[in-house]
C-alpha cells in the first residue's frame, strides 16, 4: 500500500509540476501579448499624429501649387529682364542697371508680357542661401555687388 500511495503521490506531483510549467508558459505568453499590445497602441497613436500632420502638409502643398502655377505665367517676362541684365548691363554701374531694368519692365508692360512686380536680377537668378553665404564671406550686401556675383556665378 505504501508503494501504491507513493506512486500516486509521484503522479500527482508530476501532474502539479506539469501544470505549473504550463501555467508559467501561459503567464509568459500573456506578458508578451500585453507588451505587444502596448507597442501597437504606441504605433497607432504615432500613425494618427503622422496622418494628422500630413493633412496639414496637403493643404500647404496645395497652396504652393497655386502660387507656383501663378508664378509660371510670369516667368517669361522675368527671364527677359534677367537675361537682359546678364547680357547687357554687366559693365555698367548700379544707376544705369536700375534704369535698364526699369526700361525693360516698361517695355514688357507695353507689349503685354506679364512679369513679377519686383522683378530683379537678384529675385530671378539669385539663390538666397548662396547670397547669404557670399555676404558671410564679406561680399558687400548692396545690389551691385550681389548682381555682379550672380553674373559671375
Contact (CB, 8 A) for 109 and 77: no
Q: Is the pLDDT of residue 62 over 90?
A: no
Alpha-helical segments (H) within the chain: 2-88, 94-111, 121-125, 128-136, 143-152
User: Per-residue pLDDT averaged across 124-141, rounded?
Assistant: 91
User: Per-residue pLDDT averaged across 58-71, rounded?
Assistant: 86
Cell of 1: 500500500
Residue position matching grid coordinates 517669361:
76
pLDDT tens digit sequence for 8-47:
889 899 999 999 999 999 999 999 999 999 999 999 999 8
Q: Distance between CA atoms of 109 and 104, rounded to whole angstroms?
A: 9
Q: Is the pLDDT of residue 55 over 80?
A: no
Q: Is the pLDDT of residue 77 over 80?
A: yes
User: Per-residue pLDDT averaged across 47-63, rounded?
Assistant: 82
Cell of 80: 527677359
Phi, psi angles (nearest 5°) of residue 4: -65, -45
Q: Which residue in 140, 104, 138 sits closest to 121, CA to CA?
A: 104
Q: Is the pLDDT of residue 1 over 80?
A: no
pLDDT, residue 7, reads 87
Q: Is the pLDDT of residue 54 over 90?
A: no
Q: Distance between CA atoms of 71 and 52, rounded to whole angstroms?
A: 29
What's the pLDDT band for 50 if we cut at 50, 70, 90? confident
Q: The pTM is what?
A: 0.58
Amino acid at each position: 500500500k505504501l508503494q501504491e500511495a507513493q506512486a500516486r503521490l509521484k503522479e500527482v506531483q508530476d501532474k502539479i509540476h506539469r501544470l505549473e510549467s504550463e501555467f508559467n508558459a501561459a503567464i509568459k505568453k500573456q506578458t508578451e501579448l500585453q507588451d505587444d499590445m502596448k507597442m501597437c497602441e504606441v504605433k497607432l497613436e504615432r500613425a494618427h499624429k503622422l496622418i494628422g500632420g500630413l493633412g496639414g502638409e496637403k493643404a500647404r502643398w496645395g497652396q504652393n501649387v497655386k502660387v507656383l502655377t501663378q508664378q509660371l505665367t510670369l516667368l517669361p517676362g522675368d527671364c527677359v529682364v534677367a537675361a537682359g541684365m546678364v547680357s547687357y548691363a554687366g559693365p555698367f554701374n548700379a544707376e544705369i542697371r536700375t534704369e535698364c531694368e526699369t526700361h525693360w519692365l516698361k517695355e514688357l508692360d507695353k507689349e503685354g508680357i506679364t512679369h513679377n512686380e519686383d522683378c530683379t536680377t537678384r529675385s530671378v537668378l539669385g539663390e538666397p542661401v548662396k547670397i547669404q553665404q557670399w555676404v558671410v564671406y564679406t561680399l558687400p550686401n548692396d545690389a551691385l555687388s550681389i548682381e555682379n556675383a550672380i553674373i559671375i556665378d
